Amino acid sequence: MFGKQSNEFLNNVDGNLGIASVCLSYLSFECFSDALSTEDIGSNILSGDYVLFTYAADEWVEHIRQCARHLGPEPLQSLRDILSIFAEVRENYFFQAGAKGHHAAKAEFQPLQAWPNLYELLIQMDSFMRKQRSDLLEQNGKYLLEVLGSSLMGVLLILNS
């Protein structure tokens, strides 16, 4: 993590990769399963299982954006592996992709283009995050429900109530 070559205390690329990996691993935890009852979710809230939820859900794409173009083959493979697990665990068969993402996102995530499904996921999530930050989401977070699935949406609704 220490970047001797740049005289920086921390290496930004490694730091962003590490944080993105933690966020994606966390969002893949069982506490976000759509099979959980309201009581289980309430218990999980009280035990602190969702303490990182807002940060992880809001920032994982940004951390990937900050490091993807600067990764060597081995770290890029590591990112692909964690993204694959996340996509498999959180896949939502009811989601239908909308408009294509912004051209800047396509360039930023270009190193992952060798894995088309993950590349498209990142572009779609980038589009979602831009809409969310600009308050352009469809009514009542419908787009959020489609992208992230019902389990994460349920947790988000409970945490915001």
Supply the Cα-derived Rg of the chain in whole angstroms. 16
The structural domains of the chain, with segments of one domain joined by +, span 4-160
pLDDT digits (tens, 9 = 90+) for 55-82: 999 899 999 999 998 999 999 999 999 9
**If we measure between CA atoms, which residue out of 4, 3, 124 comes closest to residue 67?**
3
Question: In a 3-state reduction of DSSP, which class is residue 3?
Answer: strand
The pLDDT tens digits of the residues spanning 70-121 come to: 999 999 999 999 999 988 888 765 555 554 556 678 888 988 899 988 888 8
pTM: 0.72
- What is d(CA 76, CA 69) in angstroms, rounded to the nearest whole number? 9
User: What element of type H or E holds 59?
Assistant: helix 53-67
Q: How far apart are CA 128 and CA 131, in angstroms?
A: 5
